[in-house]
Structure formats: C-alpha cells, structure tokens
C-alpha cells in the first residue's frame, strides 16, 4: 500500500526503520517477479566455478597475470553486444524465451568442456591443448550469460503487473514503486546466487588441503558437473513465466473479459516495435572488427577492438537518446559517464590472489568463506542502503563507492609492507592475515553492488514503453564496456609492475618460473590512487558542466 495513509500508520523509531528497510520490500514482492529473479539468480550462481578456475590455472596452466587480464578483456566484450540483443528482445517480444534456451546451451557447453578436460584429459588434449580448451570454455560462458541477461531485463519489465486483481490499471505511483522494487530484487537475486556459490564451495572444498592431486581434480570436476544446474535454473524461470502468464490470462477470461481485452492487459500494447537497423549494423560491425583483429593477430588488437567498440556503442547510444527530451538526454549522458569512469578504474589483478594463496596460505575453503562473507554483507548492504538509493543522487553514491574502493585496499597494502619476508609461507601470522582479509571484505561489500540500481530504476521510470529492453541493454553495454577498459588498464599496470607466482613442472617438480611479489606493494598503491582520484575528478567535471545530473 502506498500513499500518505500508509506513511501515517507506519511505526516510528527503530521499528519504523526496520519496516521501511525490510518489511516494505517484502510487501512489494509479487509472484510475477520470480521468473526474472530466477534468471538473475542463475547469473550469480554462474560464479560457482570461479575459485576452481583460479586454482586450475595456477596448478595446470602456465598463463601470466597480464595474459589473464587480457583474457578477461575478451570475456567482457560480449556484454557490449547487449545493445543489438536488447533491441532483438524488444522486436521478438513474444518469443524472447527462445534466447534463454540459446544462452543456457552455451553455458552448459562451457561447463561440459571443463568437466571433460579434467576427467578425460588425454582425449581432450589429443584434439587441442588444454589451455585452448580452457580459453574456449572461459569465453563461451559470458556469451551465454549476456544473452540470458538481455532477456531477464525485459522479463523484469514484463513482471511488473499493470493491473490489480480486478483488472483495473495500477496507479502510476504504485507502478513506479514496483519497478524500483523489481530492479532492487533483481540485484538481490544476483548476489543471492553468489551466496549459494560460496556456501557450496565451502562444503565442496572441506579438507582439500589434505587431498592429493587426483582427489583435488575429482573435486574440481564435480563442481563443474554441478554447474550444469546454472542453465537449468534459468530455463525453469522461463517455463514458470509461461505458466504464470497462462493462468493469469485464463483467470481474466473466466471473469468475462474478451480475448482482445485480455491481450491488452497481458501483452505489451506496442508489440510491433519498429526495428532500428543501426543496432544490428553496429552489432555486426562489432563482431567483424573483433574477429578480424583477433584472427589476424593484429598488434594492439585489444586496444583496437576497445576503441572500435566504444565508437559503435556511442553511435548506437546517440540513436537511443534521440527519443528522450534534451534534459533527460543530458542527465543520462552525465550519469552514464560517471558510472563508466567509476567502473573503468584498474584492479590489482591476479597477483594479489596468488599472494594470498602462496604467501598468506589462503586455501580454497577459506577463499570460499571469504566469498560467502562478501556476498552476505552485500545483500545486507543492498537492503540497508535501499532508502539511501531512493533519496540520494547517483553522483553521491558513486563518490562514496570510489572512496570505499580506495579504503578497501589499505589493509592489503599494510599487510604487504608488514611482512618482512614475502617469499616464505607464513605460520603464526596467517590468522592475523585472514582477519585483515575479512575486515577488507566488510569495508568493500555493502557498497559494491549498488551503483547500477539507481540507473536501472531511472530507465524503468523514463524509457519509452516500446524500448525498455533496448534501453537496459544500451546502458548495460556502455557501462560493461568500462569493465573491458578496466581489464586493459589492469593489464598495463601488471606489465609495468610485474608479479609472478611460482610455476613448477608437474612431472619433475622443477621450478620454471620463480615467485616474485616484490612489486605488488607499489602496484596496490597506484591502483588505490587511481580508484579514488579518477571517479572523484570526473564527478566534479560532470557536475560543473551542462551534463549535471540531480537524479
């Protein structure tokens, strides 16, 4: 219930705060929200293989931190294709569920490849090297996820009911509130998937420090086999959406509404979205550029693809914002610029993970515990900060995130410089190191996933009805392209400040690459300065220009 009457009856003090933060969110939940939430949950659950992948690379593959950062760049590029995918969803609105099946197939294939690589190594290696199989699997998964995510965004719009139980249109204020709630719950479901992942990893990795190589490989294979539940969950969400729609439509027909009246209530009034060829031309140009550069082994290929992708994305964004008023367009450009620069800052890279494993003694199970703490704190932070997201401007939220991002690296910097001999494993200091890691997580997690929610809510309120999925996809492509920029800058920093972990020959035990963490400290300091300084500078510049945003 909304309105002043509901506000007047709301309890005050701590009970009122709990009611506004927790129970009000639960009251706005609708069963129609569940199908897209299942697809979002599957996306979060896709991180099930993250820790396994880290240890698989470390134990079986000779890939450098810079190479892995470059690989992350390629894996992030499919998300730039969300624009033509989102527009495709708007066009084939009634048949969008088919894309979920396609995405599920790609994700399932990715998991099957890694399962066979671990369990049938000789057979797979006879076809092509293990590193090539890993790269193929690594790239297939984000392709499937981006397809499903584009559909989930559209489903999140469709899930918000337009009518009440009597078939009457919902008031505009209530409809707006439900859209905001849907987007918040979508992020909540995404992080809930990571909570489930962390809990499962803790259970799967119990006692792994005492396992031999074959037992570890069996555990890794089991996790990849369990990961086949990821596409199953997303497909189940689509099936549930179809069942809900059928039952709701049937109920309206039983109440005496005609076929035409029922279709008007449960189908988008403008199903025949007019295709804009520029989105597909841009998508085709993106694929052509990527394949030409990648297959041609062109020098600075990643940089060329990024620059070309950015040009294509900006061209398509121009097509999209043409339907907005000048004030809305300026606000959206300013907001997107701020969020882009916030997400484009570099990360330390895999070197800090190797340091935590080799020097601090963090094993698979503790990293799973840390992941669980991260996810739980993020969920709590999203619920607690929801009123703030509704009342504070986006620029304020991003500024706080930038500062928090800098603060979260300080314990790691202090820990690194507090260790006198970084080449020898720690013994008594491991407990202190783990405490600092948990403290670091407590600083980072609550604000880590809130930057996008205000923008998604803005789109839900302001985007034209016939272009909802396209708007979601365009802005997601632009901001996710920032992650590719982050991978590039991460690669550059790892090429300047070189960090290596020890690599040994599995057969002889001879060390082929010695561990060297001597430059990790300065790398962390540089990353911290950029993480805080760049976003704050961009916020100041945008807020002192015509692109100033008050949302």
Collapsing DSSP states into helix, strand and coil, what is residue 301? helix
When mean pLDDT is compared over 35-44, 392-401, 430-439, 461-470, the highest value belongs to 35-44
C-alpha 383 chain-centroid distance: 18
Say if residue 118's pLDDT is above 90: no
Question: Given this model, what pLDDT does residue 13 score?
Answer: 66
Q: What is the 3-state secondary structure (H, E, C) of 156-169?
A: HHHHCCCECCCCCE
Return phi, psi of residue 329, to 5°: -65, -45
Collapsing DSSP states into helix, strand and coil, what is residue 530? helix
Say if residue 537's pLDDT is above 90: yes
User: Could you tell me if residue 305 is inside a domain?
Assistant: yes
User: Could you tell me if residue 335 is inside a domain?
Assistant: yes
E-assigned strands of 441-494?
none
Return phi, psi of residue 503, to 5°: -120, 125
Collapsing DSSP states into helix, strand and coil, what is residue 12? coil
Rounded Cα–Cα distance for residues 193 and 375 (Å): 9
Question: Given this model, what pLDDT does residue 197 score?
Answer: 78
Model confidence band, residue 105 (pLDDT cutoffs 50, 70, 90): very high
Question: Given this model, what pLDDT does residue 109 score?
Answer: 93
- Count Cβ atoms within 10 A of the Cβ of residue 65 and give its class: 0-12 exposed, 13-18 middle, 19 or more buried: buried
Same domain, 313 and 332: no
- Torsion, Cα 303 304 306 311, to 10 degrees, reads 140
Tally of structural domains, the chain: 3
| 41 or 375, greater pLDDT | 41
| 300 or 390, greater pLDDT | 300
Same domain, 174 and 116: yes
Q: What share of the chain is helix, strand, coil (3-state, %, to 5)?
A: 80, 0, 20
Q: Taking all residues of the chain, what is their mean pLDDT, rounded to a whole number?
A: 77
Which range of residues forms the domain containing residue 84? 28-161+170-267
Same domain, 342 and 310: no
User: Could you tell me if residue 5 is inside a domain?
Assistant: no
CB 458 within 8 Å of CB 332: yes
Rounded Cα–Cα distance for residues 163 and 168 (Å): 5
Last residue of a domain, one of 257, 289, 322: 322
Contacts of 537 (CB under 8 A, 6+ apart): none
Q: What is the 3-state secondary structure (H, E, C) of 311-342?
A: HHHHHHHHHHHCCCCHHHHHHHHHHHHHHHHH
End-to-end CA distance of the chain: 25
Same domain, 247 and 285: no
Residues 406-425, mean pLDDT to the nearest whole number? 63
Rounded Cα–Cα distance for residues 299 and 75 (Å): 19
CB atoms within 10 A of CB 313: 20
Say if residue 446's pLDDT is above 60: no
User: Could you tell me if residue 16 is inside a domain?
Assistant: no
Question: Given this model, what pLDDT does residue 139 score?
Answer: 87
Question: Given this model, what pLDDT does residue 360 score?
Answer: 73
Rounded Cα–Cα distance for residues 126 and 124 (Å): 5
For residue 201, give the CATH number of its domain. 1.20.1250
Share of the chain above pLDDT 70, in %: 77
Same domain, 420 and 520: yes
Model confidence band, residue 518 (pLDDT cutoffs 50, 70, 90): confident
User: Could you tell me if residue 9 is inside a domain?
Assistant: no
For residue 493, give the CATH number of its domain. 1.20.1250.20
- pLDDT (tens digit per residue) in 85-94: 888 888 887 7
Rounded Cα–Cα distance for residues 169 and 291 (Å): 48
User: Could you tell me if residue 15 is inside a domain?
Assistant: no
- Cα distances from 366 to residues 36, 49, 174, 425, 501, in angstroms, run 32, 15, 44, 16, 19
CB 124 within 8 Å of CB 133: yes
Rounded Cα–Cα distance for residues 289 and 306 (Å): 10
Burial 505-519 (b: 16+ CB within 10 A, else e): eeeeeeeeeebebee
CA angle 221/224/225 to nearest 5° reads: 85
Same domain, 388 and 405: yes
Same domain, 293 and 355: no
Question: Given this model, what pLDDT does residue 424 score?
Answer: 44
Same domain, 283 and 247: no
User: Could you tell me if residue 22 is inside a domain?
Assistant: no
Residues 409, 412, 413, 414, CA torsion sign: positive
Last residue of a domain, one of 322, 342, 359: 322
Collapsing DSSP states into helix, strand and coil, what is residue 18? helix
Question: Given this model, what pLDDT does residue 1 score?
Answer: 38
User: Could you tell me if residue 6 is inside a domain?
Assistant: no
CB 266 within 8 Å of CB 248: yes
Question: Given this model, what pLDDT does residue 390 score?
Answer: 62
Same domain, 370 and 279: no
Contacts of 188 (CB under 8 A, 6+ apart): 379, 382, 383
Residues 44-68, mean pLDDT to the nearest whole number? 74
CB 36 within 8 Å of CB 156: yes
Rounded Cα–Cα distance for residues 254 and 362 (Å): 61
Same domain, 111 and 250: yes
Residues 451-480, mean pLDDT to the nearest whole number? 72
Same domain, 245 and 291: no
Say if residue 378's pLDDT is above 50: yes
Question: Given this model, what pLDDT does residue 540 score?
Answer: 92
Same domain, 287 and 341: no
Residues 232-253, mean pLDDT to the nearest whole number? 83
Rounded Cα–Cα distance for residues 40 and 237 (Å): 10
- pLDDT (tens digit per residue) in 246-298: 787 777 777 776 666 666 665 655 456 777 888 788 777 877 777 677 656 67
Reading the block at residue 332, the tokens are 């959206």
């Amino acid at each position: 219930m909304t309105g002043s009457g509901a506000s007047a009856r709301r309890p005050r003090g701590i009970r009122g705060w709990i009611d506004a933060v927790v129970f009000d969110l639960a009251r706005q939940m609708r069963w129609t929200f569940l199908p897209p939430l299942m697809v979002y949950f599957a996306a979060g659950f896709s991180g099930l293989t993250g820790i396994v992948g880290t240890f698989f690379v470390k134990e079986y593959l000779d890939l450098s931190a810079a190479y892995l950062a470059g690989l992350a760049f390629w894996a992030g590029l499919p998300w730039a294709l969300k624009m033509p995918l989102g527009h495709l969803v708007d066009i084939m609105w009634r048949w969008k569920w088919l894309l979920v099946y396609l995405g599920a197939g790609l994700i399932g294939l990715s998991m099957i490849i890694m399962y066979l690589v671990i369990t049938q190594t000789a057979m797979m290696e006879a076809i092509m090297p293990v590193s090539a199989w890993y790269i193929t699997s690594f790239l297939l998964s984000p392709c499937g996820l981006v397809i499903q995510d584009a559909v989930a965004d559209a489903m999140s719009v469709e899930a918000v009911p337009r009518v009440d139980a009597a078939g009457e249109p919902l008031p505009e204020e209530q409809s707006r509130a439900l859209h905001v709630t849907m987007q918040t719950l979508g992020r909540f479901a995404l992080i809930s998937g990571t909570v489930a992942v962390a809990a499962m990893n803790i259970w799967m990795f119990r006692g792994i420090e005492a396992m031999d190589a074959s037992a570890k490989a069996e555990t890794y294979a089991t996790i990849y086999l369990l990961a086949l539940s990821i596409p199953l969950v997303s497909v189940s969400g689509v099936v549930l959406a179809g069942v809900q729609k059928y039952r709701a439509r049937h109920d309206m027909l039983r109440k005496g509404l005609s076929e035409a009246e029922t279709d008007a209530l449960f189908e988008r009034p403008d199903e025949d979205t007019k295709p804009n060829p520029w989105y597909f031309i841009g998508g085709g140009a993106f694929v052509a550029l990527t394949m030409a550069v990648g297959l041609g082994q062109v020098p600075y290929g990643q940089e060329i693809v990024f620059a070309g992708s950015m040009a294509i994305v900006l061209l398509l964004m121009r097509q999209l914002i043409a339907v907005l008023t000048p004030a809305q367009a300026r606000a959206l450009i300013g907001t997107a610029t701020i969020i882009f620069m916030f997400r484009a800052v570099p990360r330390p890279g895999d070197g800090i993970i190797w340091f935590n494993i080799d020097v601090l003694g963090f094993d698979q199970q503790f990293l799973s515990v840390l992941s669980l703490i991260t996810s739980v704190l993020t969920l709590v932070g999203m619920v607690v900060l929801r009123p703030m997201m509704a009342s504070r401007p986006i620029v304020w939220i991003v500024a706080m995130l930038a500062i928090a991002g800098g603060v979260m690296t300080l314990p790691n910097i202090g820990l690194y410089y507090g260790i006198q001999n970084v080449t020898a494993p720690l013994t008594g200091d491991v407990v202190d190191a783990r405490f600092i890691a948990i403290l670091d997580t407590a600083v980072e997690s609550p604000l880590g996933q809130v930057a996008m929610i205000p923008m998604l809510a803005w789109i839900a309120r302001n985007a034209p009805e016939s272009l909802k999925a396209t708007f979601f996809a365009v802005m997601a492509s632009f901001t996710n392209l920032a992650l590719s920029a982050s991978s590039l800058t991460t690669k550059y920093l790892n090429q300047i400040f070189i960090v290596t972990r020890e690599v040994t020959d599995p057969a002889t035990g001879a060390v082929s690459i010695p561990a060297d963490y001597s430059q990790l400290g300065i790398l962390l300091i540089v990353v911290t300065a950029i993480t805080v300084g760049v976003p704050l500078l961009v916020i100041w510049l945008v807020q002192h220009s015509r692109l100033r945003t008050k949302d």
